[in-house]
Amino acid sequence: MAIKRAAAIIFFLALASYSPSLRVFTQEPALTATEKSYLQASKILASGIEALGGLANLQAISSVTRDFSGVRTDKGQGISPLEPTAITRKEKNIRDLRKLRSFDSTAGTLVGGQPFHSDRVVSQTAIFTANRIDRTVLSSDVSSYPQASAAALRRHPESLLLAVLNRKETLRWMGEQNYEGRPHQIISFTDTDGTELSLYFDAQTHLLTKSEFLRDHVVLGDVVSEIVYRDYRPVGKLKLPYEYIDKLGGVILQKSQITSLMLDEPVSDALFEQPKDLSVLKQGAFTPVIKKIGDGVYALLGLYNCVFVDFNDFVLVLEAGVNSRYTEGIIKQIKATVPDKPVRYLIPTHFHYDHIGGIRSFIMEGTSIVTLPRTKEVIEKMARSTRTLRPDALSRAPREPVFEIFKGKRVFDDGVRRVELYDISPNPHVGEMIIAYLPKEKILFEADMLDLDVPEGQPGHAGDDTVALLERVRQLGLKIDLIIPVHGRLGTMADLEATVATRNNKDSSRKN
């Protein structure tokens, strides 16, 4: 009897090994593709953490302080739309890894010669940007802390890999690829703000070579943003990069070299408190506020100021706004103010990305874009850019932009209202620049050459472009009572003259 029972058991086990319906009782189920991808990515992450110095040493860091010296070559903000303009800048980055807060200070000179120095602070109790040149501070709602903090922490390898470790459930294996002539292993993860990043690890050294993510850019559309890490060196018990290269769509935006890197330096709480010696400015409303500044002439004041003029049969708009969302709000306000008239003309001041980012909304309106030749080329490329990440109205119903190109001067006049456009190219700020003048109201509209992000009565900070603006205004004989800059408060001719005079006095002091 025992022999028969043993034979039956052997037969059942043999049958189970060959019968798919019975394998579940004798074998572990096969791993799914998702599980395999996760396990492979986890191994690569572990090797990457070990290459930096090991998990225990990474987790032991309380703070990282870096000083950078670098050159920004962003062609979207340069003199030419084809050739990038090099701008030297210095940075200090502090990451307090215990309290998950960040401090970023950047200083240098903008295209056109205007100095800049700003401090960006992100903490759970305060988020603000302090402009050390204009002595002003702009604060943001702390409800945006999760997104702002995630973006700040993932810039650097040590805090990026710790962030990945805290989001291991999102890890996936992406495959292998040669990058800069070396084999790399690639994994992806989704950060707390929803950004999905791909991380490239050198297959031999296991060091993180770069991070990248796909983003929706206001001008370029679907485009890859990258940070490349080079020149790894020992720092205490860790190994960290001393060169950072920022790229957009494969084009270098900035190269930065670390001049000083310190671990576990004491971090003062005062660094993360809003400065009390700076003037507090209201954050520009995303939906701008309408201000009537003349008969049929209106300013839209907010994040980016613009002007629209009510002619007999149409509306003319000066400046497009920073992006489509902002511009859609502008167009709604224009139509509510001047119903039953087409928005027939748009005049962008120049081709810098932050000044043409909202033009796609005007293209959908059938608005004619009055501009200069090189600016036309940039707008044409923007209008045809691929947008699958966040499709807008133009990507759903494509249409070609309509242009009117002029040189020197272009006038709009219906017998009641008049707008004069002047091509003041070249300008130290950009290769092509337009200013608008309303002679009846004695209003000048300009962008970037005179920024008035300063309190009332305080002069701005002049660059070569500001000096050039004043010279051209005088050459043209324009009589100006009101200046509407794209950036900042309304001003006067006295503001422009005082800003240039302040610069001239500083230059004289340096020579003496």
Give φ, ψ of 35 to 5 degrees: -65, -45
Q: Residue 317: inside a domain, yes or no? A: yes
Note whether 440 and 294 are within 8 A (CB). Answer: yes
- Indicate the helix (H) or strand (E) that contains 498: helix 493-511
| Domain span at 270 | 33-280
Q: How far apart are CA 415 and CA 276, in angstroms?
A: 52
User: What is the chain's length?
Assistant: 512
Average confidence (pLDDT) over 264-269:
96
Owner of token pair 């991808």: 37
Domain co-membership, 347 together with 479: yes
Q: How far apart are CA 193 and CA 420, in angstroms?
A: 46
- Determine the pLDDT at residue 22: 38
* Mean pLDDT estimate for the chain: 91
Residue 255 has pLDDT above 50, yes or no: yes
Q: How far apart are CA 160 and CA 211, in angstroms?
A: 9
- Determine the pLDDT at residue 23: 40
- Determine the pLDDT at residue 16: 38
Domain co-membership, 241 together with 295: no
- The CATH number given to whatever domain includes residue 60 is 2.50.20.10
Domain co-membership, 144 together with 227: yes
Residue 374 has pLDDT above 60, yes or no: yes
Edge-first strand listing for the sheet containing 368-371: 289-294, 297-301, 306-310, 315-318, 343-347, 368-371, 402-405
- Indicate the helix (H) or strand (E) that contains 448: none
pLDDT tens sequence across 173-232: 999 999 999 999 999 999 999 999 999 999 999 999 999 999 999 999 999 999 999 999
Determine which of 49-53, 179-183, 356-360, 500-504 has the lowest per-residue pLDDT on average: 500-504
Q: Residue 180: inside a domain, yes or no? A: yes
Residue 284 has pLDDT above 80, yes or no: no
Domain co-membership, 295 together with 266: no
Task: Give me 238's structure tokens.
Answer: 């860790």
Burial class (CB in 10 A: 0-12, 13-18, 19+), 143: exposed
Average confidence (pLDDT) over 12-36:
59
- Determine the pLDDT at residue 511: 55
Q: Residue 469: inside a domain, yes or no? A: yes
Q: How far apart are CA 121 and CA 270, in angstroms?
A: 11
Q: Residue 3: inside a domain, yes or no? A: no
Q: How far apart are CA 495 and CA 488, in angstroms?
A: 12
Note whether 184 and 290 are within 8 A (CB). Answer: no
- Domain closes at, from 250, 280, 310: 280
Give φ, ψ of 382 to 5 degrees: -65, -40
What is the pTM for the complete model shown? 0.88
Determine which of 43-52, 137-146, 225-234 has the lowest per-residue pLDDT on average: 137-146
pLDDT tens sequence across 414-466: 999 999 999 999 999 999 999 999 999 999 999 999 999 888 888 888 999 99
pLDDT tens sequence across 153-174: 999 999 999 999 999 999 999 9
**Helix (DSSP H) and strand (DSSP E) numbers for the chain:** 12, 26
Domain count, the chain: 2
- Determine the pLDDT at residue 27: 66
Owner of token pair 């671990």: 263
